[in-house]
Structure 1
Amino acid sequence: MTDDPSAAADEAYELDNQIGYILRVASQRHAAIFQSQAPGGLTPTQFSALVRVAEKGACSQNLLGRLTSMDVATIKGVVDRLKRKGLVVLEPDPTDKRRTIIRPTAAALEMIGALHDAGRRISEATLEPLTPTERSMLIRLLRKIT
């Protein structure tokens, strides 16, 4: 058995060595860690959208979706839930009434520091089994394939 996915084609197929399977298992582990430490009861997608809109400031829902790598339907649902939580406000774009502008509320901006701290703790817990060098390498390699 080898860890090299490019090994000879006649090698037996092993699910445990497939990148999609490994990424899904790692993602499930991260999701469990996130849920155990979820700041403000936010889901990972809500967390990402809120942090991005706080970084960017007022922006269109379409742009926020692109900035968070979410499709149109997903970002709409995420924004609607953030609105219900009082963390964003929606308003029509003054230059294009078909476009919705998303703004973080004062309550959202007040919690950004705590969100950043929680994000760091969650990342630390997710990467805990790795050495500092391995952590950097993993992040670098994942960025390369995204």
Structure 2
Amino acid sequence: MSSVDDSIRTLLLLMPRMVGRTKRLKVPAELAGMNLAPRHLSLFAYLLFDGPLGVNELAERLEVTPATVSLMVTELTRKGILTRAEDPTDRRRAIVSLADSHRPSIDAWLARGARAWRTALEPLTDAERELFVKTLRAYEEAI
């Protein structure tokens, strides 16, 4: 690519295709009809990759208020997708995790995207990956 304009043109064409393909990922049959949204996928990804987390930790990572996460957790706990347990060291703190019964389907659902990112990012150096992520964050903030 010879110019910023060429790169912008390419990305303006590429981004809608990427979003469209992501939206077409099928929700696992056992989770269909539960009105899951992209915000739920982010929550699931943190719990899948990082294990059980507190509501405040999830809020910080998702960049939303603890009240928002609490509402999401309550909704998903009622649906049996998440479990909420009392922290044995601090009874005021709830620990949130994926329900064992739904973990395999959530893992399979997120695995396709994770494999695609791995394919794209593995050939890059650490510095190139860092620049790529920094660039995506800058784009998100600017938009």
Name which of 80, 87, 91 aligns with 1:86: 80
CA displacement at 1:116 relative to structure 2: 1.6
Give the TM-score normalised by structure 2: 0.58
Percent pairwise identity: 25
The corresponding residue for 1:55 is: 49
Please state if 1:96 is matched with 2:99.
no
Matching residue of 2:99: 105
Q: Hey, what does 1:39 align to over in structure 2? A: 27
Match of 2:61 among 67, 84, 100: 67
After TM superposition, the structure 1 = structure 2 runs for residues 14-25 of structure 1, keeping only pairs within 5 Å, are: none
Contact 1:35–1:43, Cα closer than 8 Å, also in 2:
no
* Counterpart amino acid of residue 52 in structure 1: Y
Distance 1:80 1:56 in 2: 20
Distance (whole Å) between structure 2 residues aligned to residue 112 and residue 95 of structure 1? 29
- Structure 1: give runs of 5+ residues left out of the alignment: 5-21, 124-135
- Tell me the CA shift for residue 62 of structure 1: 0.8
Normalising by structure 1, we get a TM-score of 0.57
Once residues 96 and 115 of structure 1 are traced to their aligned partners in structure 2, the CA distance between those partners, rounded to angstroms, is 33
8 A contact 1:92–1:100 mirrored in 2: yes
Which whole-Å deviations, capped at 9, do the CAs of 1:59-87 have from their partners, x for residues lacking one? 21111111222221221121112212211
Q: Which has the larger radius of gyration?
A: 1
Cα displacement (A) at 1:43: 0.7
**Partner AA of 1:62 in structure 2:** N
Distance 1:118 1:74, change over 3 A: farther
CA distance in 2, matches of 1:71, 1:59: 15
Give the Å deviation of 1:48. Answer: 0.9
Which residue does the alignment assign to 1:76? Answer: 70
Cα RMSD (Å): 3.7
